Amino acid sequence: MGQQLSDVFIKITSKFRPMNLPVDTIWKCTSVLSRYVVGNGDAIHCDAAGNPQVPTWTPGLQGQIVDGTALTLDYDIQMLVDSQLGLSATVDGSDAPITSVSATDTNVNIVLTSAVTAGQVVTVTYNATLGNIRSDAISPVDATSFNDLAVNNVTV
């Protein structure tokens, strides 16, 4: 009758495995053609035969906030970033220099040179052609560009 929507097990090999997970570990997809998140946020997709499929979704930006010098971009999957290339910010319409950028779990953490005060209008721009924000997955996918995105200023 073909494949049924039941549990499908896959074996992680050294060629296809999330970081920080041992080789030859058995992981379970909750159902056929579903996404199963393992370990550090990496995702495995299974086809009808239970074979792992390389993720192809684009990381989704869920929100953005700033508190003082800390501007955070929150994505729907664990992220990586190597440098601040492609990122820029403005405060009340003026350029706001960026000191550093890092990634922690699903957050891209941007440190502004000067602290934002309550009530200031902050925007952030990311040019994916220049930058390197990407998912921390089996097959990394680049984040998409955005321009002058309004940032929720929670500075008190």
Per-residue pLDDT tens for 115-149? 999 999 999 999 999 988 988 766 678 899 999 99
- The strand pairing partners of 87, in sequence order, are 126
pTM of the predicted protein model: 0.67
Query: So what's the pLDDT on residue 105?
Result: 87
The Cα–Cα gap between 132 and 82 comes to: 6
DSSP string for residues in 70-85: EEEEEESS-EE----T
The 10s digit of each residue's pLDDT in 12-37 is: 333 344 444 444 444 444 444 344 44
Q: E strand or H helix at 150, and its extent?
A: strand 146-153
Q: Tokens representing 114?
A: 């000067």
Which 3 state secondary structure label does DSSP give 64?
A: strand
Domains of the chain: 8-53 (no CATH), 61-153 (2.60.40.1220)
Reported as a single tens digit per residue, the pLDDT across 31-55 is 443 444 444 444 555 566 655 555 5
- What type of residue is 123? T
